[in-house]
Structures are given as C-alpha cells and as structure tokens.
Amino acid sequence: MHIKALMADDVVLTGIYNYSANATYYSDENFFIIRDEDVLDAHLVKFNRLWMQHYPGATPEVQEEHERAPPIGEKININTAGKGWLMSLTGIGETLADRIISYRDTHGPFKSIEEIMKVDGIGEGMFNNIKDKIAVE
C-alpha cells in the first residue's frame, strides 16, 4: 500500500504528488485538497491505526503527544476522544478524563451526551458547562 496524504488544519491533501522539486517542476502530478470532515476523519482513523501498528509499544505520553488536537469550535466526540481532547473541555482535568475513558471502556460507547453524567465527578453543573462542546457519534 502506498498512501500519500497530509492532514493539516482540518484539510486532507492527497494525490500522487511526491513532495519533491522534481515532482513540482518536471512531472505530471495530481494533488487534491479535500475539505470534508468525513474524509478527514477516515484518514485520521487509518493513520492512527497504522501509527499503533508501527509503534505498538508507544507509551501513553507519546501516543497523546501525537494525538490530533480538537479543531477550534468543533464538538468533541466523547466516544473516541483521547485524554488530551477531553482535558480541553472546561473543568475536565486529568482525573476526570481518565474516568471518562475508563467508563466507556467498561460500559461501551455513550449513547447520549447526558450519559456522561454517570461518570463519577460529572454532575449537572459541569454537564451544562460542556454540553455544547461534546457529541456522541
């Protein structure tokens, strides 16, 4: 498999372009700029899977360091978000992020955003602070 894809600023750049001076000036290359959230998510899922196959022993700190940051203004999927994404939510620190991940690992994916209130330490007040910034997909 030969994948040439660059994900940056919520855009997928892909095609047969070789990212070289020769390709730029002397070859016939195709290059696509895709601004579609579903395409971006599909590429990120594949990247993350391949990353973990290549670096299966990566520590959680290394994995988190290479985790994509949530786009500004975009809702965070609490069923797939890593610790770093969860901690970007107001009031969610390391302990609560760990509890959210542990809860979904134990009980399966959240069926609604309200279900996050079943996590120890997240009450109605905190839920009201984050409800417009989270989603379940």
Question: How do residues 10-32 score in pLDDT, each as one tens digit?
Answer: 888 888 777 778 877 887 777 78
pLDDT at 99: 95
Whether residues 78 and 111 fall in one domain = yes
- Same domain for 95 and 51: no
State pLDDT tens for residues 38-81.
888 877 777 777 766 665 565 665 555 555 555 556 788 899 88
In terms of domains, do 20 and 39 share one? yes
Q: Average pLDDT of 102-117? A: 94
Report the domain count for the chain.
2
Q: What is the DSSP letter of 87?
A: H
| Local structure of residue 136 (DSSP, 8 states) | -
